[in-house]
Structure 1
């Protein structure tokens, strides 16, 4: 699945209910209901990493960055709000990436959409 990280990430995001994609700050970004961002691609956006930034539940960013700083980081601009940075230029487990994307969606989606995932 990880041959093209952008296409792999796109497939994961667009598989979720009422998700749309458009450019934001020059990068592909995925929205719930056309308004709330839950994942933003970061192709060397303000640093030398290929990554994505995503919404995360309280404490997740700190735990994952402490556990695997070579894979996870606190992204600029949104990191202070608990968002998680996930590197795509290092080996990743795409099953785990799918879980992270799903959790990001759940963090911002309205309850009526989250129940559709169950």
Structure 2
């Protein structure tokens, strides 16, 4: 009996949609997740023919972004369009660390969520 492996999109979707008041919409042709109308995660699969599958998430700013990019260049990269705003892309190829992916998506949600959700206990 073979194990059924979930696609990166289904895993990212499952993680993101568990967070309060999250919705999924297509943005720029990509599955994108929003909280209170603010984007916090985007799945990119072969974006502009780059051959990569990544999830893009917010960081707290350029310092955290640089720390992640320098500390784990095989995991994190600077995504097109979102990178200048401090976002990182997490590589989902092979066997990614899904606990790390879940944590980074949740952290990104916290950075985008309105204060009323955070004050209510957030995630």
Give the TM-score, by structure 1 length: 0.91
Distance 2:65 2:46 in 1: 20
Query: What's the offset of the Cα at 1:7?
Result: 0.7
Whether 1:117 and 2:122 are equivalent positions in the alignment is: yes
- Residue correspondences, number: 117
Distance 1:110 1:44 in 2: 31
For the 8 Å contact 1:61–1:73, the answer to whether it is kept is no
For structure 1, the 5+ residue unaligned runs are: none
Q: Which residue of 1 aligns with 2:44?
A: 42
For the 8 Å contact 2:110–2:122, the answer to whether it is kept is no
Distance 2:95 2:88 in 1: 17
Of stretches 18-27 and 82-91 in structure 1, the one that deviates more from structure 2 is 82-91
Q: Which residue of 2 aligns with 1:96?
A: 100
Distance 2:51 2:118 in 1: 34
Q: Which residue of 1 aligns with 2:25?
A: 22
Supply the RMSD in Å over aligned alpha carbons: 1.6
Query: What's the offset of the Cα at 1:28?
Result: 0.6
- Partner of residue 8 from structure 1, selected from 8, 11, 28: 11
Query: What's the offset of the Cα at 1:60?
Result: 2.1
For the 8 Å contact 1:71–1:90, the answer to whether it is kept is no
For structure 2, the 5+ residue unaligned runs are: none
